[in-house]
Structure 1
Amino acid sequence: MNERKTPWPWLAFLLLALSAWPMLRDWQREARSTQAPPKPSIANSSAFISPNQIEVQLRPGADDSTLEALSREIGAPLQWDSPLHAETEIAVATLPSGVSVAQALDKLRSDGRVETADVVHYYTEPTSAVLPQELVAEEPSDSNSTLKKDASGWRPNDPRYDEQWNFRLIHAEEAWALSRGKGIKVAVIDTGVAYTNCDKGPIARDFKQTRFVPGYDFTSRSAIAYDDNGHGTHVAGTIAESTNNNEGVAGLAFDATIMPVKVLTGSGMGSSAWIAEGIRYAADHGANVINMSLGGPFPDKLMAEACDYAHKKGVVIVCAAGNTGTEGVGYPAAFKPCIAVSAVGPKGNLAFYSSYGPQIALAAPGGDSRVGGQAGTILQNTILRDASGNPVDDYYGFQGTSMASPHVAAVAALIEAVGIRNPDDVKCILQKSAQPKEPTKKYGAGILDAGRAVKLAVNTYEDGVARFWFVVALFGLGGLVMWFNRKTGGPRHYPFWPIAAFAFGLLAPDWLSSTFGLGSHWNLLTHSVLIPAALLVLGADGPKERRFLGYMALGFTLHLGWEFLRDTIPVGLDYGRLALLPWCASNVLIGFGLLISGLAAKQE
């Protein structure tokens, strides 16, 4: 006589579905945030587009003969854009009158030797209309007294550190207690960095202990990527200015290494070809993080391909959203692989100049002189030129999304230094740990929180390692017990399958989240008892199978409970424990139900 099938497995699935309901609205919100920005309506588009110049991204293996053949096809001479063409494989051409740009691009894009082609676009350092380069008062202002100092953490001895309200806003001292960015390379793709003494100028005085690796200047085709503007050095200072050296101010990831890549001229403008080359150069030379405090209103195909290329190589790309003060995120920030950053002032509100839109991932301190005056800007060391062209090495307060972006890039370096290296996982941790603030089109997931981000990264990485060694110890303990029983004449049975089933349940979620990414919504399914429950419903209901699935369910249940208590459940944004509680509680209930059912199964 056949046993009557009980309906409880289907009731369990219904319970899990209902408990996941609180998170569905947030998933829809995140999906909407990936939409492409509207095409810009720019009155003076000629300032950003060179209509008779085209750029070509060639496929690997292209050489001079390839350029000659393509030049004949389009009726204009293609030339390599830099001496590093063997790495970047980017060429440019100026079309003579009578040659159609559209036809030339169509021919190139349809050629198998070409990855993509576009007209040349121009991008600039986003500068705000007020106080772009003003000296901050020598004495620390008391206007930031509302920002509390971190109760715990590590504090540097830099004499003007108290003026860096921005680091207190994001709880930098808590982050420094856990990570300082050691071993991580951050490429500053900008106007260069005053990182060495050379014929172009001196090293900035508070960068003498900062670590650097060789970069490149694509604007003048030089191996020395020196800053002749001041913008790039200021940006690099936020990331890794020499810290705890009794000089000036601090950098956020001061043990990280800076790779200076110059793609903007002294006037602060650069071509899309230079920027695309800079991105590929950084990715090919070991950069872990790229910061681009630059932008423009138009997308560019070569730049988009370069961002995809770097992201696939494991590089985190952080970009300034723009300083239009209106809705509309600029490029490259609006490209999908990039982390778009808006700017807030000392009170944590969107700065008057900051661009915003659905592509914003999170906000970070960029300064706001309308709220805090000069003391409300971002203070770092850089070198500017006086009216006579002489270098003036001092501490200056800048404001802009250019200043917000390197805060996020620096925290990304802190996260990577503790072991989280996948760029999507880094972005997920940055967003999940952010200080929540609405609306999302202005602040994304919220305001950057370095302390929470690094703590979440440490917990996520170390907990995975701890679970692995726990399973290793469990197998070892089973072997030790069997050895002891042999010595004492006890049972010699080794409980391999119960341990293996439990180990699978405990470790499989880590493997699956590393496959899908920490921000994937699939993790909601894989970090639950759905897998053993589904196997049971599909027919694995014999006594042995039920016991096996019971131990597996125990592993999944303990894994989920571990993550709930440590606040490391990888299901995208931080939904809060209240939203996650029904899901976790229902999983625990069903998981232990499967375990008890398996243990109660009759022995065959």
Structure 2
Amino acid sequence: MSTSGLLCATIRKMNANAAGGSKIIRNVLCLNVGMLLLLSLGIPSAVSQAQAEETLLPEASQTIQPTETAWLAESGTATPGLPTSTELPASITPSFLPGSPAPLAPQLSDEGLRGEFVPGEVVVRFRNRASKKSIEQCIQSVHASVTSEIDELNTLVLSVPEGRVAESLYHLQSCSDIRYAEPNYTMHIADVYPSDPGWGNQYGLVRIRAPQGWELATGSSSVTIAIVDTGIDRTHPDLAGKLVAGIDIANGDTNPQDDHGHGTHVAGIAAALSNNGRGVAGVSWGARLMPVKVLNAAGSGSQANVAAGIVWATDHGAQIINLSLGSRDESLDASGFPVLKDAVDYATSAGVIVVAAAGNGGGNSVMYPAAYPNVIAVGATDSSNTRAGLSNYGPEIDLCAPGISIFSTVPGGYSSSSGTSMAAPFVSGLASILLGIPGNGSPAAVTGQMQNTALDL
């Protein structure tokens, strides 16, 4: 099965017709085959299982059957697979024939019931043979009223005196036409939200639907993202634990410490330490970060240094290279950056995914290296999921991601910044999650998955 729809993050795709300026915006990495995955694993639905059980129980049979009660996990979230069938705790299981008067109930407390449920409500399913009269008598026996019903399942939601759910379940078992009775358990969304306190400021992760994706995968430490930039703050508490060996080409040493802040901000977006109760969350919780410093304290550097950084990262095991940089000189085309083009070709021929920022001029012109055909060019969107005014656009654009007021790591703390530089690492983080899924395929397949599963807006 293709993995292209197994994660969810709405990274935006935007393409433009060079003449007409029309653009296509897409969301990528959408969870759209989860149910197909369950079906492929042969997991029956709860409804089909219940129907099968009903068939196995002859309507005329008077054999005493255990009450079937499906309990959910105490965590409040649905447990993978089907819920197990169980009974009320043995201490309160009645020992009387169905249809006979119920004995006096022991002192039952709702606190003895497992799981989170709606106070004062029980869910009851009746057998197909149940008559209207027997159903009414059963409801009256526990002083209940009908709140709602699911006719197709012969199921009623009953309102019982608050605090007497357990007692009501005990008495309901005396009704011979009941298949099961259980508390009305509470369901919750299955998204994964990190514990990082800065999460509330990270609208970008919400826009790309990262919580839905994290329910399926959060990234693997076997994947390394090279941040070819101004370096990374090697002492930052949200980054230090993710770093592998790097290099400082800008200053000719082995200490790629960030003396500008840009690279640290980019790194945090892609793969900050996440769900650790500190700072912010990155797109990929598992990916490693390789600091490759090619830009100086002013945020500038030569194309030769950038090319050398790309080659170094490729040779030292990076599977993804993030380039939140490029040339602002619109008078130069690809022929003006031959060494940069050669470096990109060197990386991609080695199976490395190269992601680059489209530029912040707001015009129909994508800067290099993003404009190269073997580079994933990333534009920026804002909090309303529209193209950011500062973002370059054009036919070279492959994907777009949030790029306005993005909250992330900076040396010594956290701050917000804007630009396609902030958008690119959303894609790099996404690519690392896909690449880290066992058996998911080649870098080319991952790139295709990000593009082909995009949703046009």
The TM-score bracket by the shorter chain reads 0.5 to 0.7
**Given that residues 323 and 355 in structure 1 are in contact (C-alpha distance below 8 angstroms), is that contact kept between their aligned partners in structure 2?**
yes
Give 2:445's aligned residue: 425
Q: Which amino acid aligns with 2:398?
A: A
SS at match of 2:197: coil
Answer 1 or 2: which has greater helix percent: 1
Give 1:464's aligned residue: none
TM-score (norm 2): 0.56
Distance, in Å, in 1 between the alignment partners of 2:17 and 2:447 is 14
Distance, in Å, in 1 between the alignment partners of 2:377 and 2:15 is 16
Distance, in Å, in 2 between the alignment partners of 1:335 and 1:425 is 19
Distance, in Å, in 2 between the alignment partners of 1:152 and 1:158 is 18
Give 2:341's aligned residue: 304
Give 1:205's aligned residue: 237
Instruction: Tell me: CA distance 1:421–1:295, structure 2 relative to 1, closer, same or farther (3 Å).
Output: farther
Distance, in Å, in 1 between the alignment partners of 2:218 and 2:200 is 19
**Given that residues 228 and 292 in structure 2 are in contact (C-alpha distance below 8 angstroms), is that contact kept between their aligned partners in structure 1?**
yes
SS at match of 1:186: strand
Instruction: Tell me: CA distance 1:34–1:306, structure 2 relative to 1, closer, same or farther (3 Å).
Output: farther
Moved more, 290-299 or 348-357: 290-299
1:256 equivalent among 287, 304, 316: 287
Distance, in Å, in 1 between the alignment partners of 2:440 and 2:18 is 23
2:205 equivalent among 163, 167, 191: 167
Query: Across the two proteins, how many residue pairs are aligned to each other?
Result: 268
- For the pair 1:436 / 2:445, whether they are aligned, the reply is no
**Given that residues 333 and 339 in structure 1 are in contact (C-alpha distance below 8 angstroms), is that contact kept between their aligned partners in structure 2?**
yes
1:421 CA drift (Å): 4.6
1:336-415 matched pairs, under 5 angstroms: 336-367=373-404, 377-383=405-411, 393-415=412-434
Instruction: Tell me: CA distance 1:380–1:312, structure 2 relative to 1, closer, same or farther (3 Å).
Output: same
Give 1:325's aligned residue: 362
1:110-509 matched pairs, under 5 angstroms: 151-182=189-220, 183-195=222-234, 203-208=235-240, 210-296=241-327, 297=329, 298=332, 299=334, 300-367=337-404, 377-383=405-411, 393-418=412-437, 419-437=439-457
Distance, in Å, in 2 between the alignment partners of 1:365 and 1:263 is 25
CA RMSD of aligned residues (A): 2.1
1:307 CA drift (Å): 0.6
**Given that residues 403 and 422 in structure 2 are in contact (C-alpha distance below 8 angstroms), is that contact kept between their aligned partners in structure 1?**
yes
Unpaired segments ≥5 residues, structure 2: 1-13, 20-187
**Given that residues 15 and 394 in structure 2 are in contact (C-alpha distance below 8 angstroms), is that contact kept between their aligned partners in structure 1?**
no
Q: Which amino acid aligns with 1:162?
A: G
Instruction: Tell me: CA distance 1:31–1:358, structure 2 relative to 1, closer, same or farther (3 Å).
Output: closer
SS at match of 2:225: strand
**Given that residues 161 and 250 in structure 1 are in contact (C-alpha distance below 8 angstroms), is that contact kept between their aligned partners in structure 2?**
yes
1:394 CA drift (Å): 2.0
1:464-492, Cα deviation, whole Å (9 max, x unpaired): xxxxxxxxxxxxxxxxxxxxxxxxxxxxx
1:328 CA drift (Å): 0.1
Q: Which amino acid aligns with 2:239?
A: F
Instruction: Tell me: CA distance 1:32–1:247, structure 2 relative to 1, closer, same or farther (3 Å).
Output: closer
Unpaired segments ≥5 residues, structure 1: 1-29, 36-149, 196-202, 368-376, 384-392, 438-604
SS at match of 1:236: helix
Counting aligned pairs with the same residue, the percent is 39
Distance, in Å, in 1 between the alignment partners of 2:203 and 2:442 is 30
SS at match of 2:346: helix
Distance, in Å, in 1 between the alignment partners of 2:15 and 2:402 is 26
1:34 CA drift (Å): 11
Distance, in Å, in 1 between the alignment partners of 2:419 and 2:16 is 26
SS at match of 2:232: coil
Distance, in Å, in 2 between the alignment partners of 1:31 and 1:409 is 19
SS at match of 2:308: helix
Instruction: Tell me: CA distance 1:253–1:31, structure 2 relative to 1, closer, same or farther (3 Å).
Output: closer
1:64-75 matched pairs, under 5 angstroms: none
1:293-315, Cα deviation, whole Å (9 max, x unpaired): 00113331011011111101110
1:170-198, Cα deviation, whole Å (9 max, x unpaired): 11011112222211000000000002xxx
Q: Which amino acid aligns with 2:275?
A: N
| Greater RCO (CA < 8 Å, at least 6 residues apart) | 2
Answer 1 or 2: which has greater strand percent: 2
Moved more, 310-319 or 297-306: 297-306
Distance, in Å, in 1 between the alignment partners of 2:454 and 2:199 is 23
Instruction: Tell me: CA distance 1:257–1:31, structure 2 relative to 1, closer, same or farther (3 Å).
Output: closer
**Given that residues 15 and 397 in structure 2 are in contact (C-alpha distance below 8 angstroms), is that contact kept between their aligned partners in structure 1?**
no
Q: Which amino acid aligns with 2:426?
A: H
1:217 CA drift (Å): 0.7
1:152 CA drift (Å): 2.6
SS at match of 1:282: helix
Distance, in Å, in 1 between the alignment partners of 2:197 and 2:291 is 26
